[in-house]
Amino acid sequence: MAEAVILSGLPAAGKSTWLAARPDLAVISLDDLRDELGVDPTDGQGVVIAAARDRARVHLRAGTPFAWSATNLSRSL
């Protein structure tokens, strides 16, 4: 069974600082995915969320611990 840590908070709340102290965790970062995919934070986020979910599934199937880092999460996520 994989450990999944979900970090959600305002910008500069300390999510990245906390993650830096946990090098054992793979990180799924919505901010990094937006940069990678060229999606502006004010644009639709469907492709970003889909990519993040795909990466999470890979970790879950492998039993690899990971952190999901998001500036915010909607209630539906």
pLDDT for position 9 = 79
Which ranges of the chain have pLDDT less than 70? 72-77
pLDDT for position 75 = 54
pTM of the model: 0.80
pLDDT for position 34 = 93
CA distances, 35 to each of 7, 30, 41, 60 (Å): 19, 9, 9, 24
Report the sign of the C-alpha dihedral through residues 33, 37, 41, 42, in that order. negative
pLDDT for position 77 = 46
Burial of residue 19 (number of CB atoms within 10 Å: 0-12, 13-18, 19+): middle
pLDDT for position 72 = 59
Tens digit of pLDDT for each residue in 17-36? Answer: 999 999 989 999 988 999 99
Three-state DSSP class for residue 18: helix
